């Protein structure tokens, strides 16, 4: 099964190496990640390809390294929270910006030298975990990444499979009432939906924003909004992408929609319409945002800082826009009129227990 593919012609956006825009060319995402998987007893996985190395599911062994800013990492944050894996997999949150070397643990406590470090790994930069395993690692240092705490070395950064494995391989550590985010009976259809979402929407905004020519930009723009219109039509008669309950397909779409008005509409020139001007998608996005696990893991301050400060090739001044007003995320959505049960036979997750995992006051949609 393949859910996300791309041609490795240009450096991945959420890495920390290379230029983002190459004149005259279309943006293509580098999907060559460390393909290791964490599975039950290090057995061949239930779904997807079997990589060369398998790691065993084991509570308290691994650390999930994320950044609130990154949509791919935001997926992992949401899925971990929905499934209740907080007590099995610890989480380190990198700051919103990085240089060419790596994401840094700006949220950590400064040591004796005044440099913030992750309190568990002791690292200043995520790069150190990659180099602990691959001293000459040649590709981008990306989030999300899973790090083996005993060896302090990276296990995998293959983000499409990290979250699917959370659902299928870590079941013994799911909370009571955890939803089934990857239902077996829906997987074939889900894979097709998620492929469309990734290729045309998740990646589509970047194809527009990092286009190297007017022609490439306009083609990317048209593809993106054609896909958004198609997904909008699908959501007119069903509350969630796969029907009555939330699945990983919704998680994957949400992280792009949450960034649309604050970033993509202006920064990436995807300006046919704001999300707030697309009635069905806007109501759907607000429905998810107001569901535990989604809005409470969305940090708009970090999101805006990352895109506008890091992408100096398309925003050379580094100025971060003051707007838009985000309080409209909390307005009524009325999607409950379509019926459905967000968590199926399960229950919503409780409050975020760890203070360092809560989105800071003023960074959400207050």
- The pLDDT value recorded for residue 112 is 75
Instruction: Tell whether 71 is covered by a domain.
Output: yes
Q: Can you state the angle between helices 214-234 and 279-289, rounded to 10 degrees? A: 70
- Are 211 and 337 part of one and the same domain? yes
* Domain CATH for 62: 3.40.30.10
- Are 242 and 318 part of one and the same domain? yes
pLDDT reading at 352 higher than 50:
yes
- The pLDDT value recorded for residue 365 is 87
- Are 168 and 197 part of one and the same domain? no
- Are 297 and 160 part of one and the same domain? no
- Are 258 and 317 part of one and the same domain? yes
- Are 141 and 274 part of one and the same domain? no
Q: What is the pLDDT of residues 281-340, one digit of tens each?
A: 999 999 999 999 999 999 999 999 999 999 999 999 999 999 999 999 999 999 999 999
Paired sense of beta strands 54-56 and 109-110, if any: unpaired
* Domain CATH for 301: 1.20.1050.10
C-beta separation of 232 from 278 below 8 A: yes
Domain count, the chain: 2
Q: Which has the minimum average pLDDT: 108-117, 126-135, 294-303? A: 108-117
* Domain endpoint, select from 116, 140, 173: 173
Kindly indicate the confidence band of residue 253, based on its pLDDT and cuts at 50, 70 and 90: very high
- Are 72 and 212 part of one and the same domain? no
- Are 41 and 114 part of one and the same domain? yes
Paired sense of beta strands 109-110 and 153-156, if any: unpaired
pLDDT reading at 249 higher than 80:
yes
Report the run of H or E that residue 63 belongs to, with start and end: strand 62-67
- The owner of tokens 């996985």 is 45
- The pLDDT value recorded for residue 217 is 97
**Selected residue with higher pLDDT from 186 and 100:** 186
pTM of the model: 0.94
- Are 202 and 165 part of one and the same domain? no
CA distance 62 to 80: 13
Reduce the DSSP state of residue 199 to 3 states and report it. helix
Provide the annotated active-site residues.
70, 206
Phi, psi of 305 (to 5 degrees): -60, -45
Instruction: Tell whether 126 is covered by a domain.
Output: yes
CA distance 159 to 168: 15
Instruction: Tell whether 235 is covered by a domain.
Output: yes
Instruction: Tell whether 25 is covered by a domain.
Output: no
- Are 203 and 352 part of one and the same domain? yes
Identify which of 303, 307, 327 has the alpha carbon closest to the alpha carbon of residue 318. Answer: 307
Report the run of H or E that residue 216 belongs to, with start and end: helix 214-234
- Are 246 and 103 part of one and the same domain? no
Instruction: Tell whether 321 is covered by a domain.
Output: yes
- The pLDDT value recorded for residue 5 is 38
pLDDT reading at 154 higher than 50:
yes
What residues are paired with 179 via a beta bridge?
Answer: none
Instruction: Tell whether 76 is covered by a domain.
Output: yes
Instruction: Provide the sign of the torsion angle of the four alpha carbons 227, 232, 235, 239, taken in this order.
Output: positive
C-beta separation of 165 from 39 below 8 A: yes
- Are 51 and 167 part of one and the same domain? yes
Q: Which domain holds residue 267?
A: 187-357
DSSP state of 101: S
């Amino acid at each position: 099964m393949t859910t996300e593919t791309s041609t490795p012609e240009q450096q991945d956006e959420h890495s920390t190496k290379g230029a983002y825009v190459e004149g005259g060319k279309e943006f293509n995402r580098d999907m060559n990640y460390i393909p290791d998987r964490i599975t039950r007893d290090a057995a061949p996985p239930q779904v997807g390809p079997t990589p060369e190395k398998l790691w065993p599911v084991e509570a308290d062994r691994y650390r999930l390294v994320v950044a609130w800013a990154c949509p791919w990492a935001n997926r992992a944050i949401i899925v971990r929270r929905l499934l209740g894996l907080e007590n099995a997999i610890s989480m380190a949150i990198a700051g919103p910006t990085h240089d060419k070397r790596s994401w840094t643990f700006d949220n950590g406590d400064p040591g004796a030298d005044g440099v913030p470090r992750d309190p568990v790994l002791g690292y200043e930069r995520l790069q150190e975990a990659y180099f602990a395993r691959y001293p000459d690692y040649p590709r981008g240092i990306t989030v999300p990444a899973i790090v083996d705490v005993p060896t302090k070395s990276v296990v995998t950064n293959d983000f499409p499979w990290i979250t699917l494995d959370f659902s299928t391989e870590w079941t013994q550590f799911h909370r009571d009432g955890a939803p089934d985010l990857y239902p077996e009976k829906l997987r074939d259809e889900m894979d097709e939906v998620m492929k469309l979402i990734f290729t045309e929407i998740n990646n589509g905004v970047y194809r527009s924003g990092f286009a190297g020519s007017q022609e490439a930009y306009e083609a990317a723009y048209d593809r993106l909004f054609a896909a958004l219109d198609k997904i909008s039509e699908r959501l007119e008669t069903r509350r969630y992408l796969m029907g009555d309950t939330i699945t990983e397909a919704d998680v994957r779409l949400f992280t792009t929609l949450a960034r649309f008005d604050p970033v993509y509409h202006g920064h990436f020139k995807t300006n046919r319409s704001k999300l707030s001007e697309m009635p069905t998608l806007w109501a759907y996005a607000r429905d998810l945002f107001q569901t535990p696990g989604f809005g409470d893991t969305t940090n708009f301050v970090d999101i805006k800082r990352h895109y506008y400060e890091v992408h100096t090739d398309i925003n050379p001044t580094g100025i971060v826009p003051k707007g838009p007003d985000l309080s409209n995320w909390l307005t009524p959505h009325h999607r409950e009129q379509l019926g459905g049960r967000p968590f199926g036979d399960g229950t919503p997750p409780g409050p975020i227990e760890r203070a360092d995992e809560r989105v800071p006051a003023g960074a959400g949609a207050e």
